[in-house]
Amino acid sequence: MNKAILLEKRPVGKPKLSDFKFVSNKIEEISTGELLLKTTYVSVDPYLRGRMSDAKSYIPPFELHKPISSGIIAEVIDSKNPAFTKGDFVSGMLAWKEFQKSNGEGLLKVDATRAPLSTYLGVLGMTGLTAYLGLTEIGKPKKGETIVVSGAAGAVGSIVGQIGKILGCRVIGIAGSDEKTALLKSKFGFDEAINYNTTKNMAAAIKEAAPNGVDIYFDNVGGPISDAVLLNINQFARFIICGAISLYNNTELPKSMSVQPFLVKNSALMQGFIVFNYAEKYAEAIAQLSIWLAEGKLTSAETISEGFDTIPQAFLDLFEGKNSGKMLVKI
Amino acid sequence: MNKAILLEKRPVGKPKLSDFKFVSNKIEEISTGELLLKTTYVSVDPYLRGRMSDAKSYIPPFELHKPISSGIIAEVIDSKNPAFTKGDFVSGMLAWKEFQKSNGEGLLKVDATRAPLSTYLGVLGMTGLTAYLGLTEIGKPKKGETIVVSGAAGAVGSIVGQIGKILGCRVIGIAGSDEKTALLKSKFGFDEAINYNTTKNMAAAIKEAAPNGVDIYFDNVGGPISDAVLLNINQFARFIICGAISLYNNTELPKSMSVQPFLVKNSALMQGFIVFNYAEKYAEAIAQLSIWLAEGKLTSAETISEGFDTIPQAFLDLFEGKNSGKMLVKI
C-alpha cells in the first residue's frame, strides 16, 4: 500500500496533528514517459505553514484534502521515461506520499556518491541557496562588517553564519537554548551566540556582542528579537527578511516596534527574500556552495526524524525549535 | 540689530514655542574671503524635529543654546569674497538669523530671474530632489504601476504625486483634510485622494482607490496609515521611507503592525531615504525638474508665513498639517 498525508483542515494558529490526515491507496501504474518514485527524504520547512493558510502569497495555498508537498529526495524504482533510470535519485517538489509517479518535470538528478543524499535538501538544496543568495544578493556583506542571524541554529541560519565567516564578517547568532548557542560557536564558528530564552535585555546583549553595530541582519523570526536588532543598526544596514517563524501562527495581525523611524535615520533597507525569485543564480550558487563543502569550510547539520508517519510531528516540532540545522524525515 | 533663534530646550514629545529662544546681537563684521547675508526665505521641515533630539542619526543633533539651521535663501548684502557680489542670492544650510556671515562654503547661487526665489527651497531645492530621487532611485516606477503617497499635500508629497503622473503611474494621495484632498486632485493631478481624518477603514479605502494593488508607497508619515498601505501591497512592492512625521513626537518607541510577514510574502522592499546620500545625482535631477517646471508639468505649492518671528510657530504648524505644499517663512 501507499500512504499519503493530506491537509485535512487549515490550521488556526499553531498547527495540530489533527490538521493532517493519513490515507492509503494503491501504488499508481505508470505510462510511457512516466516514472515511479519512492520517497527517501522529506524536507519540513517553516514556510509550509504559509501554504496551509488560504491567503494570498508568493506560492498558492495547499488544497484541502489533497497531499501536502515539499522538497523531497526520491529513488526512481521504475521508469518509462528515457531521461531517468531505475536506481537514480532525484530531488524536487513532491507530494507527501510513500510512492508517487511523475513525468519527470521539475526533477533534478542528484549524485549520492558526491555528497550524502540529504545534503541535496540542505546545503546543496533550497536551504543552501536561500542562505547564500539571501546573504549575498540583499545583504551584500563586506569584509569586517557585523552580521546578526536569528533562527541561527536552524537550517538556513546555520549556513548563513558559516558563509558570513567565510566572507570575513563578524557573525552573531541568536537561538533558543544553551545547547544551540554552544553549537553555534563550537560547530559553526559563530563569534558570539545569544540565547533569547534566557536573555532579559536582548537589545543590550546584541549591543555587547556587536560593539560596532549591526550592518546586516538575516531575519528568520520577526517579532521582539527583530525589534532588539533594529535598536542596534548602523547606517546603511541591510535586513534580509527571510522568514518570520515567530509570527506565522498568530491569528491576529501582530504588532512590533515601528520600523520606519529606524530605517529613515539609518538609510537602512529591509527586503523580503524568496529564493524562487533568484532562479537564474542557482547554478552559480550551488557551484560555490559545493566548493566550500568539499573544502570543509561548510558543515551541514541535520535533525532527522525516522519514518513516514513522523512527518506531521516533525513539521510541528519546527515551531518548538526542536531542530538543529535542517529538519528532515527519513523514510 | 540682528535677531537669532536658539534651541533653548530639547523638545519632549511635541515641540513648544518655549523650546526656542529669540536673542539679539550686533551684526557681525566680515573679513577678507567672507560675505554678509540677509535672510530672505527660511525652510521649515519635519526632519528638523529629529535634530532637536539628542539621538544618533544621519546628521548630528543641534546644539543647545545655539542657532538652529535649515535650508535658507539669502541675499548677499556685502562681500569680501570674489566669488560673490552684492545683490547675489544664494541657497544653503544657514542659521536662523536675520543676518549672518559666511565664507561662501556650501552656498549655491540661485537665479531670481529664472524662477521665483522660493522655488529653490521647493521644487528646485532639497524638496524637489527628495521627491525625485526617492521616487526614482528606490521606487523605480514603471508605467502603469500604482503609487500611494502619504503626507501627499506636503512639500515632498505634492511633488512625488506629480512626478508619478508624469511617469505614467496611477497616483493616490493621502492627506488630512477635505481641502487638501480636493487640492491633490484639482491642482496636482492625483487620480484619487483619501482624507485619513474622515476615513474609518483606511485599508478598505486604499483597496478601492488601488484596485490593482500598491506597487510603490512613498511614506512620509509612518504609523497606522502605513499599516493600511501594507495590507494592500503587490509582489515586489517598494516602500520609500522618507519620513515618519506621525511618529516623530512620540516619547516612547511606537508600535505598528509587524512588517516582516508582508515583506516576505510579497518579496517587498522598504528603504530609508535621505537625500544627502544621493548628492552625485543632484545635477541630473535638478536638470530634469527644471525642464518639467518650465514645461508647466510641475506645479509648486507653498504655504508662506511672514516675518522672522513666525519661524518657530511655522515649524510647529507642520505637525498640525497646517501647510499645503512647502512651508516657508518669508523675512
Report the DSSP pairing between strands B35-43 and B99-102: antiparallel
Residue in A219, A255, A261 nearest the CB of B247: A261
**What percentage of chain B reaches a pLDDT higher than 90?**
84
What's the mean pLDDT in A155-168? 97
Answer yes or no: are the C-beta atoms of A267 and B58 closer than 8 Å: yes
Question: Who has greater pLDDT, A330 or B244?
Answer: A330
Residue in B241, B256, B267 nearest the CB of A264: B241
| Topology match between the domains B2-122+300-330 and B126-276 | no
Report the DSSP pairing between strands B89-95 and B69-79: antiparallel
For residue B219, the chain A residues in CB contact (below 8 A) are 260
What's the mean pLDDT in B59-87? 95
What whole-number distance in Å separates Cα of residue B190 and Cα of residue B170? 8
What DSSP line would sit under A81-112, residue for residue?
STT--TT-EEEEEEESBSEEEE-STT-EEE-T
Nearest to B237 by CA among B260, B214, B210, B261: B214
φ, ψ of residue B207 in degrees (nearest 5): -60, -40
- Asked if B267's CB is within 8 angstroms of A271's CB, the reply is yes
pLDDT of residue B120: 94
What's the mean pLDDT in A283-288? 93
> A295 vs chain B: nearest CA distance in angstroms?
33
- Asked if B226's CB is within 8 angstroms of A260's CB, the reply is yes
What's the mean pLDDT in B75-98? 96
Q: What is the pTM of this model?
A: 0.87
pLDDT of residue A57: 66
Q: Where are the domains of chain B?
A: 2-122+300-330, 126-276
- pLDDT bin (cut points 50, 70, 90) of residue A56 is low
Is the pLDDT score of A192 beyond 90? yes
Nearest to A258 by CA among A218, A240, A280, A231: A231
For residue B247, the chain A residues in CB contact (below 8 A) are 258, 260-261
Average per-residue pLDDT for chain A:
94
**What percentage of chain A reaches a pLDDT higher than 70?**
99
Is the pLDDT score of B55 beyond 90? no
- Asked if A255's CB is within 8 angstroms of B266's CB, the reply is no
pLDDT of residue B145: 98
pLDDT of residue B247: 78
Report the DSSP pairing between strands B170-175 and B146-150: parallel
What whole-number distance in Å separates Cα of residue A179 and Cα of residue A170? 21
User: Roughly what angle, to the nearest 10 degrees, separates helices A126-133 and A282-294?
Assistant: 100
What whole-number distance in Å separates Cα of residue A138 and Cα of residue B215? 19
Q: What is the DSSP letter of A247?
A: T
Q: Which residue of B has its CA nearest to A277?
A: B267
**How many CA atoms does the CB half-sphere of A158 hold within 13 Å?**
27
When mean pLDDT is compared across A85-99, A173-187, B51-65, the lowest value belongs to B51-65
- Asked if B56's CB is within 8 angstroms of A258's CB, the reply is no
pLDDT of residue B252: 81
Compute the count of residue pairs across chains A and B with CB atoms less than 8 Å apart.
129
- Asked if B260's CB is within 8 angstroms of A255's CB, the reply is no
Cell of A34: 512516466
- Tell me: the pLDDT tens digits for B158-196? 999 999 999 999 999 999 999 999 999 999 999 999 999
- Asked if B274's CB is within 8 angstroms of A269's CB, the reply is no
Is the pLDDT score of A246 beyond 80? no
What's the mean pLDDT in A281-300? 93
Q: Which residue of B has its CA nearest to A264?
A: B272
What whole-number distance in Å separates Cα of residue B92 and Cα of residue B121? 9
pLDDT of residue B60: 83
Question: Who has greater pLDDT, B246 or A271?
Answer: A271
Is the pLDDT score of A268 beyond 80? yes
CB neighbourhood size of B234 (10 A) = 18
φ, ψ of residue B54 in degrees (nearest 5): -95, 55
What's the mean pLDDT in B143-150? 98
What's the mean pLDDT in B7-30? 95
When mean pLDDT is compared across A77-81, B49-53, B216-220, B226-230, the lowest value belongs to B49-53
> B131 vs chain A: nearest CA distance in angstroms?
15
- Tell me: the pLDDT tens digits for B280-298? 999 899 999 999 999 999 9
Report the DSSP pairing between strands A255-257 and B20-25: unpaired
pLDDT of residue A146: 98
Nearest to B52 by CA among B102, B16, B103: B16
What whole-number distance in Å separates Cα of residue A160 and Cα of residue A164? 6
Q: Which residue of B has its CA nearest to A138?
A: B269
pLDDT of residue B325: 85
- pLDDT bin (cut points 50, 70, 90) of residue A58 is low
- Asked if B255's CB is within 8 angstroms of A264's CB, the reply is no
Residue with cell 543676518: B99
Is the pLDDT score of B140 beyond 80? yes
Q: Kindly list the residues of chain B whose beta carbon comes within 8 Å of any beta carbon in chain A.
A: 50, 55-58, 219, 222-223, 226, 235, 241-244, 247-248, 253-274, 277
Fold of A126-276: Rossmann fold (3.40.50)
- Tell me: the pLDDT tens digits for A142-151? 999 999 999 9
Write the ipTM. 0.85
Q: Which residue of A has its CA nearest to B230?
A: A253
Fold of B2-122+300-330: Quinone Oxidoreductase; Chain A, domain 1 (3.90.180)
Q: Which residue of B has its CA nearest to A255?
A: B257
- pLDDT bin (cut points 50, 70, 90) of residue A301 is confident
Which of B53, B138, B221, B241 is the best mutation test for A, with the most CBs of A within 10 A? B241
Q: Is the dihedral of CA A31, A32, A37, A42 positive or negative?
A: negative
CA angle B136, B139, B142 (to 5 degrees): 80
pLDDT of residue A263: 95
pLDDT of residue A190: 98
Non-local (6+) Cβ contacts of B17 within 8 A are: B312, B313, B316
- Asked if A226's CB is within 8 angstroms of B265's CB, the reply is no
Q: How far is CA A161 from the centre of its chain?
A: 14
- Asked if B263's CB is within 8 angstroms of A243's CB, the reply is no
Cell of B87: 545683490
pLDDT of residue B244: 82
What whole-number distance in Å separates Cα of residue B68 and Cα of residue B9? 12
Residue in B219, B248, B255 nearest the CB of A256: B255
